[in-house]
């Protein structure tokens, strides 16, 4: 055991190696519940999922299940989803569903969460309000030994975050500096456009890491290379990290260069921006917006041939902002510097990664499936800013680990996952050799994992 070593972030600039243990060891996977998942802030859902008093969702993580409920107009409560009587999971997750969703009516004789086994019932504050034949306990049952066990809960960015550790520090503190980089995008105002999940045959880290770096784009998504180089910087930001497009020469990159809606490479930027946007829309279905895609198609008619790429880019974004405003979608004010600082994609330790845009976000959340190191729950989510009152009603769509059931680009990423999981078990694999410039987000994930798990510290290559 390495004894919870936290290597200095500066060491991530060096060529490092770390073992395959975190992905394939049964012991490691079983220890994650105690050492990692019960101690970190993690996304349990979106605030929009529990709009009314009594609305609830569940969030299963490893062997734990959390019940999250809107207890008043202003407050959300979270509890361990277990009945204190004899341990039945209080709210069951329907087979094949990602979570239980519902609403508890507060009227009636015994309102609230009813345990199917012996009928104990709990109100939204987690107190037992009905215990069948309570007197048989001779007065030993009281508020403290019959209430649901509370879990820390908070909100930020429109997400509901939970932490099972009663001693955990504040959410905001945990999320910095990434929360400040993401604030300008106002994700709290966005809503689900689609959300899809699957149970995949690989470790959750394998699935997550497929999206943590653009170093894989040239080989995994060769069709995207015609729009530009995907050479990227990758930074550790405390527990978390981000990436952005970079030049091999180094130096500063402006927001138009390093964010997801950068100008595309090509002889005529009016055409190449339109083509790239259409390709994103057709093959990812996210990472851009319908307005940006449609507006890009008009550039060739509205701008003279020879307009420099940066001018085309600014014109395009300005026009899309106006088009959106006309339909009631007001872009948040995001300065060039804020856009540049956020970069292409931000990750929050341990299991979240988002590609941010002015009116959209594409994110991935990945979790273990029980304690099986070879399985995970993988989710891809698109958020959008909608005109008020036009937000769609969505629910989790289940998809197999079948390329046909995912957008083309994500399917390309998925195609590597099972093969990586198999390869990591090879007796001939000597350990991971992440790119010190372009894959630092991955190495930082393992730096933080080593700190929590007490094993697997990235070490300098010999």
List of residues contacting ligand FES (CB under 6 A): 83, 85-86, 88, 115, 117-120
Q: Which entry of ligand FES, Fe ion, none binds 213, CB below 5 to 8 A by partner kind?
A: none
Nearer to ligand FES (CB atom), residue 118 or residue 172: 118
Shortest spacing between CB 336 and Fe ion, in angstroms: 26
φ, ψ (nearest 5 deg) of residue 39: -125, -10
From the list ligand FES, Fe ion, none, which binds 76 (C-beta under 5 to 8 Å, kind-based)?
none
137 binding partner (options ligand FES, Fe ion, none; Cβ < 5 to 8 Å by kind): none
- Give the residue with the Cβ less far from ligand FES, 119 or 403: 119
Our CB check for ligand FES shows the closer of 140 and 267 to be: 140
Across the beta sheet with 55-61, the strand order is 42-46, 159-163, 150-156, 76-80, 64-70, 55-61, 101-103
Cβ proximity to ligand FES: between 25 and 129 the closer is: 129
What, of ligand FES, Fe ion, none, does residue 83 touch, CB below 5 to 8 Å by kind?
Answer: ligand FES
Burial of 393 (0-12, 13-18, 19+ CB in 10 A): exposed
Q: How far is the CB of 233 from ligand FES (least distance, A)?
A: 52
Binding residues for Fe ion, rule: CB under 5 A, are: 413
Q: Compare residues 324 and 413 and give the one whose CB is closer to Fe ion.
A: 413
Tell me which of Fe ion, ligand FES, none is bound by residue 413, counting a contact when its beta carbon lies within the kind-specific cut-off of 5 to 8 angstroms: Fe ion
Q: How far apart are CA 22 and CA 15, in angstroms?
A: 19
Q: Choose from ligand FES, Fe ion, none: what does 159 bind? Cβ within 5-8 Å by kind.
A: none
Nearer to ligand FES, 39 or 134 (CB): 134
Minimum distance, C-beta of residue 420 to Fe ion, in the bound complex (Å) = 13
Q: Which does 117 bind (CB under 5 to 8 A by kind): ligand FES, Fe ion, none?
A: ligand FES
d(CA 455, CA 30): 13
Q: 425: how many CB neighbours lie within 10 A of its CB?
A: 12
Tell me the closest approach of the beta carbon of residue 84 to ligand FES, in angstroms.
8
Closer to ligand FES at the Cβ: 85 or 134? 85
> Contact, 312 vs 303, CB < 8 A?
yes
């Amino acid at each position: 055991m390495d004894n919870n070593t936290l290597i200095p972030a500066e060491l991530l600039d060096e060529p490092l190696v770390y073992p395959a243990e975190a992905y394939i060891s049964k012991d490691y996977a079983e220890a994650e519940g105690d050492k990692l998942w019960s101690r970190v802030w993690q996304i349990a859902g979106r605030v929009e999922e529990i709009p009314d008093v009594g609305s609830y969702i569940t969030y299963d993580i490893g062997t734990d299940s959390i019940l999250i409920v809107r207890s008043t107009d202003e407050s959300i409560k979270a509890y361990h989803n277990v009945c204190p009587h004899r341990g039945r999971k209080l709210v069951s997750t329907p087979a094949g569903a990602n979570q239980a969703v519902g609403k508890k009516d507060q009227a009636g004789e015994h309102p609230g969460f009813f345990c199917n086994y012996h009928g104990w019932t709990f109100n939204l504050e987690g107190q037992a309000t009905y215990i069948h034949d309570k007197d048989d306990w001779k007065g030993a049952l009281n508020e403290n030994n019959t209430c649901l066990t509370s879990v820390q809960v908070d909100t930020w960015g429109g997400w509901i975050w939970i932490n099972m550790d009663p001693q955990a520090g504040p959410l905001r503190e945990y999320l910095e500096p990434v929360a400040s980089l993401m604030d300008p995008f106002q994700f709290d105002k966005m809503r689900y456009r689609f959300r899809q999940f699957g149970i995949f045959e690989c470790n959750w880290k394998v699935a997550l890491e497929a999206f943590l770096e653009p170093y894989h784009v040239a080989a995994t998504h060769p069709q995207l290379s015609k729009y530009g180089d995907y050479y990227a910087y990758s930074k550790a930001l405390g527990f978390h990290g981000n990436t952005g497009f970079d030049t091999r020469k180094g130096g500063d990159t402006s927001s138009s260069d390093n964010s997801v809606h950068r100008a595309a490479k090509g002889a005529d930027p009016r055409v190449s921006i339109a083509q790239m946007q259409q390709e994103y829309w057709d093959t990812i279905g996210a990472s851009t917006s319908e307005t940006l895609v449609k507006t890009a198609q008009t550039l060739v008619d509205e701008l003279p041939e020879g307009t420099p790429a940066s001018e085309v880019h600014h014109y395009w974004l300005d026009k899309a902002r106006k088009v959106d405003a006309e339909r009631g979608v007001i872009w948040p004010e995001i300065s060039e510097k804020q856009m540049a600082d956020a970069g292409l994609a931000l990750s929050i330790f341990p299991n979240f990664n988002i590609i941010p845009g002015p009116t959209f976000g594409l994110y991935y959340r990945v979790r273990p499936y029980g304690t099986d190191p070879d399985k995970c729950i993988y989710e891809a989510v698109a958020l959008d800013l909608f005109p008020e009152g036009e937000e769609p009603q969505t629910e989790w769509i289940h998809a197999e680990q079948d390329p046909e059931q995912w957008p083309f680009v994500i399917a390309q990423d998925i195609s590597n996952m099972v093969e990586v999981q198999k390869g990591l078990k090879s007796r001939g694999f000597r350990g991971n050799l992440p790119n010190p410039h372009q894959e630092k987000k991955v190495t930082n994930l393992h730096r933080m994992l080593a700190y929590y798990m007490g094993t697997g510290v990235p070490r300098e290559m010999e």
